[in-house]
Amino acid sequence: MSTISTGEGLAHRNAPGLSAASWMAAVAGLSGSLVAIGLARFAYTPLIPSLIGARWFAAGDVVTLGAANFAGYLAGALLGRPLAGALTSRWALRLMMLAATAAFFACAFPLSVAWFFVWRFLSGLAGGAIMVLVATSILPHIPPARRGMVSGIIFLGLGLGIAASGTLVPALLRLGLVQTWLGLGALSLVLMAISWSGWPAGDLPASAPSPVAAEGGRAGGILRVLYAEYALNALGLVPVMVLLVDYVARGLGRGADTGALYWVLYGLAAIAGPLVCGPVADRIGAGLTYRLSLALQAAAVALLAASGHPLAIAAATVILGMFTPGIVPLVLGRIRELLPHSHKQQQAAWSRATTAFALFQALAGYGYSYLFNHTGQDYALIFLCGAGALVVALIADTAAALGGRR
Residues 104-126: b if buried by 16+ CB within 10 A, e if exposed: bbbbbebeebeebbebbbbbbbb
For residue 208, the model assigns a pLDDT of: 47
Q: How many other β-carbons are positioned within 10 Å of the β-carbon of residue 153?
A: 22
CB burial of residue 61 (10 Å; 0-12, 13-18, 19+): middle
Backbone angles phi, psi at 138, to 5 degrees: -100, -45
pLDDT of residue 15: 53
Alpha carbons 33 and 215: distance in angstroms, whole number: 35
Going by C-alpha positions, the residue among 399, 366, 371 that lies closest to residue 385 is 371
pLDDT of residue 6: 39
Q: Please tell me whether residue 43 adopts helix, strand or coil conformation.
A: coil
Predicted local confidence at residue 104, as pLDDT = 94
Question: Quick one: fold of 209-406?
Answer: Growth Hormone; Chain: A; (1.20.1250)
Instruction: Give the pLDDT score at 300.
Output: 96
Architecture of domain 20-204: Up-down Bundle (1.20)
Question: Where do runs of H (alpha helix) occur along 339-378?
Answer: 343-373
Domain ranges of the chain: 20-204, 209-406
Domains 20-204 and 209-406 fall in the same CATH topology: yes
The secondary structure of 297-348 as a DSSP string is: HHHHHHHHHH---HHHHHHHHHHHHHHHHHHHHHHHHHHHHHSTT-HHHHHH
pLDDT in tens, the chain (406 residues): 333 343 444 444 455 567 788 888 889 999 998 998 889 888 887 777 778 778 887 766 776 777 788 888 888 988 988 998 888 889 999 999 999 999 999 999 988 888 999 999 999 999 999 988 888 888 888 887 777 788 778 888 888 888 887 788 888 988 989 999 999 999 999 999 999 988 888 655 444 444 444 433 566 788 899 999 999 999 999 888 877 877 887 788 887 678 778 888 988 898 888 888 878 888 888 889 999 999 999 999 999 999 889 999 999 999 999 999 889 889 988 998 888 877 778 878 888 998 899 888 878 877 887 888 788 878 899 999 999 999 999 999 898 877 765 3
Would you state the pLDDT for residue 175?
A: 92
Q: Side chain identity at 201, as an amino acid letter?
A: A
DSSP conformation letters of 232-291: HHHHHHHHHHHHHHHIIIIIS--HHHHHHHHHHHHHHHHHHHHHHHHHHHHHH-HHHHHH
What pLDDT, on the 0 to 100 scale, is given for residue 59?
66
pTM of structure: 0.78
User: Using CA of residue 145, residue 221, residue 2, residue 330, what is the dihedral sign?
Assistant: positive
